[in-house]
């Protein structure tokens, strides 16, 4: 039996037995682990708060034959601000869906946890537009997973910037206004491409720090959503719910 400590965030819970939970935790040191939280459904249980969805905790875990048990969960944040707004809550759940469907078993790159924590931090506050947070999460998620699109220049002629450019959501290729004219890629205003470059090429603590008008945030995140789905070859169920919540 091995005992270890790690910080991590609960990204899924399911009920088991009379009062237990199975929690899926995105940890810093072991990727996503699936662990038993004994008695955690009991309101007075010491694991109750730390086993709830989006709880960010310092966990003490024991592992035996690849079965994990949570022993302690010291709560650091519960991202309370998510609960008051259906669009924000749905987006947070969508982030969890993406992580659960795409993170390879045992993948322990802590960049996944850092990106998720920062995304939820901004999502539970009101300081960044919700579509901006979505776009950053999607594009960085693709990049951390090894699918950073080559948007530094036109794929044909190497041009850095034209007023209108073309972005191919299947291949991640960028084209200038001349080379892209005959491609099937959709046309994209340059500021959207500049935002994608910022998200891809900034240090992790700066990725959210850019400004783009509301009208352009929507096409940005429509592109990043489509691109992520194509890279991961997944359809994410919660995107439809998110867009419905946004239009309500
Ligand atoms: Zn070109």
Higher-scoring residue by pLDDT: 117, 84 = 117
pLDDT tens-digit profile of 109-121? 899 999 999 999 9
52 and 116 in a common domain: no
120 and 200 in a common domain: yes
Give the Å distance between the CA of 104 and the centre of ligand 1. 36
170 and 50 in a common domain: no
What does pTM read for this prediction? 0.96
Last residue of a domain, one of 62, 77, 92: 77
How many CB atoms are located within 10 Å of the residue 19 CB? 14
At residue 225, the 3 state secondary structure works out as helix
Q: How far apart are CA 30 and CA 40, in angstroms?
A: 22
209 and 139 in a common domain: yes
126 and 40 in a common domain: no
> Structural domain tally of the chain?
2
104 and 187 in a common domain: yes
pLDDT tens-digit profile of 171-197? 999 999 999 988 888 999 999 999 999
pLDDT tens-digit profile of 30-55? 999 999 999 999 999 999 999 999 99
pLDDT category, 207, cuts 50, 70, 90?
very high
Last residue of a domain, one of 59, 77, 95: 77
pLDDT category, 202, cuts 50, 70, 90?
very high
72 and 92 in a common domain: no
Give the Å distance between the CA of 168 and the centre of ligand 1. 13
Give the Å distance between the CA of 189 and the centre of ligand 1. 15
Last residue of a domain, one of 77, 106, 127: 77
131 and 65 in a common domain: no
The answer, yes or no, to whether residue 64 has pLDDT greater than 80, is yes
Find the CATH number of the domain harbouring 211.
1.20.1440.120
Q: Is the dihedral of CA 108, 228, 195, 134 positive or negative?
A: negative
At residue 24, the 3 state secondary structure works out as strand
Q: Could you list the residue range(s) of the whole structural domain that residue 28 is in?
A: 2-77
Give the Å distance between the CA of 27 and the centre of ligand 1. 43
Question: Bridge-partner residues for 23, per DSSP?
Answer: 13, 35
Q: How confident is the prediction for the chain on average, in pLDDT?
A: 95
The answer, yes or no, to whether residue 61 has pLDDT greater than 80, is yes
pLDDT given for residue 248 in this prediction: 83
pLDDT tens-digit profile of 122-135? 999 988 999 999 99
Helices (H), the chain: 86-102, 110-124, 130-144, 190-201, 214-232, 238-247
Buried b (16+ CB within 10 A) or exposed e, 112-144: bbebbbbbbbbbbeeebbbbbbbbbbbbbbbbb
What does residue 69 show for φ and ψ, rounded to 5 degrees? Answer: -130, 135
pLDDT tens-digit profile of 133-177? 999 999 999 999 999 999 999 999 999 999 999 999 999 999 999
177 and 222 in a common domain: yes
At residue 215, the 3 state secondary structure works out as helix
Average the pLDDT over 188-217 and give the result. 96
C-alpha 59: how far from chain center:
21
Find the CATH number of the domain harbouring 9.
2.40.50.140
Give the Å distance between the CA of 192 and the centre of ligand 1. 17
Q: Which of 3-7, 19-23, 107-111, 199-203 has the lowest mean pLDDT?
A: 107-111
The answer, yes or no, to whether residue 106 has pLDDT greater than 80, is no
Share of the chain above pLDDT 90, in %: 91
Give the Å distance between the CA of 188 and the centre of ligand 1. 14
Give the Å distance between the CA of 133 and the centre of ligand 1. 30
91 and 35 in a common domain: no
For 144-180, the DSSP string reads HTT----TTS-TTT-----SEEEE-TTT--EE-TTGG
Give the Å distance between the CA of 181 and the centre of ligand 1. 10
Q: How far apart are CA 58 and CA 158, in angstroms?
A: 47
Distance of CA 89 to CAs 32, 64, 92, 194, 231, Å? 21, 34, 5, 28, 25
What does residue 17 show for φ and ψ, rounded to 5 degrees? Answer: 60, -160
Tokens standing for residue 53: 């969805």
Give the Å distance between the CA of 186 and the centre of ligand 1. 15
Average the pLDDT over 63-76 and give the result. 95
What does residue 125 show for φ and ψ, rounded to 5 degrees? Answer: -100, -170
pLDDT category, 108, cuts 50, 70, 90?
confident
Give the Å distance between the CA of 134 and the centre of ligand 1. 29
């Amino acid at each position: 039996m091995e005992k270890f400590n790690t910080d991590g965030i609960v990204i899924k819970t399911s009920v088991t037995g009379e009062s237990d939970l199975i929690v899926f935790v995105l940890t810093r040191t072991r990727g996503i682990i699936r662990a038993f939280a004994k008695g955690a459904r009991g309101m007075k249980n010491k694991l109750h708060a730390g086993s709830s969805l989006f709880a960010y905790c310092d966990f003490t875990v024991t592992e035996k034959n690849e079965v994990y048990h949570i022993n302690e969960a010291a709560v650091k944040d519960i991202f309370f601000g998510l609960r008051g707004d259906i669009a924000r809550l749905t987006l947070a759940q969508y982030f969890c869906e993406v992580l659960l469907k795409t993170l390879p078993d045992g993948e322990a790159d802590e960049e996944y946890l850092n990106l998720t924590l920062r995304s939820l931090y901004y999502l539970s506050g009101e300081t960044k537009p919700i579509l901006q947070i979505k776009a950053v999460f999607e594009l960085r998620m693709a990049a951390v997973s090894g699918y950073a699109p080559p948007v530094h220049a036109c794929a044909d002629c190497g041009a850095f910037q034209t007023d209108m450019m073309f972005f191919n959501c299947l291949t991640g290729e960028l084209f200038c206004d001349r080379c892209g004219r005959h491609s099937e890629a959709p046309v994209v205003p340059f500021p959207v491409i500049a935002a994608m470059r910022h998200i891809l090429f900034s240090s992790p603590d700066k990725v959210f720090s850019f400004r783009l008008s509301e009208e352009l945030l929507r096409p940005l995140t429509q592109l990043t959503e489509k691109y992520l789905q194509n890279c991961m070859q997944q359809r994410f169920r919660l995107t439809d719910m998110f867009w419905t919540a946004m239009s309500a």
